[in-house]
Chain A
Amino acid sequence: NAGVTQTPKFQVLKTGQSMTLQCAQDMNHEYMSWYRQDPGMGLRLIHYSVGAGITDQGEVPNGYNVSRSTTEDFPLRLLSAAPSQTSVYFCASSYSGGNEQFFGPGTRLTVL
């Protein structure tokens, strides 16, 4: 099992550019989430999904879109990157709600 994989590992964008952060899991988990981690802060939830075709907003959803067309994949789209979106992004999955989450290695994004 590869677990939770994320690509790319690093990315530099210019303000206004768009991009998609990829996340995939091979554990057949129904639940998937995206978090961002900023210096001195814990992780904050951006969007989450409780199954294919179902997504919902977390604490900091503005500027991000998600979709969940398959159980395995949960991409995060930045529509028009801003310097405030410079952060480390983590994808996580779990078998169901109320259980431990498995995290990917993260994507370090810098927006200039």
Chain B
Amino acid sequence: SQQGEEDPQALSIQEGENATMNCSYKTSINNLQWYRQNSGRGLVHLILIRSNEREKHSGRLRVTLDTSKKSSSLLITASRAADTASYFCATDAGGGNKLTFGTGTQLKVEL
């Protein structure tokens, strides 16, 4: 079963705009991770936020985590055409190398 549900399923924006995608999950977690997948490629790790953290930044990425609502958001600022990809949240509930992935958000950034 999927731990995470992402919203929206698809998002289309203009270059330079900000993109926000949300992830909700069901059980307690140790950390939550965001990954990017370009079409036909493997996943690339973007950012990891631990359960005791509320916000984290990495370059143009900002991630928030609200454990009381079991939700996270990923904000990409000043988007570029190269940001076009699918974005997945993944939760780590501990107990090994087990990530549970959401269904993903397809982001399209148009020139």
Q: Which residues of A contact B (CB under 8 A)?
A: 4, 31-33, 35, 40-45, 48-50, 56, 58-59, 90, 92, 94, 97-106
Contacts and interface: CB of A to CB of B under 8 A. Distances in A.
Nearest to B103: A42
A91 to B, nearest CB: 9
Interface stretch (B38-46, B61-69, B71-79): B38-46
B103 A41 contact: yes
B96 A44 contact: no
B100 A98 contact: no
Given A31-B96, A104-B42, 6 more contacts: A41-B103, A50-B97, A97-B95, A100-B45, A102-B45, A105-B41
A24 to B, nearest CB: 14
B38 to A, nearest CB: 11
B8 interface: no
Nearest to B95: A97
B44 A44 contact: no
Nearest to A91: B42
B97 A41 contact: no
Contacts of B103: 40-42
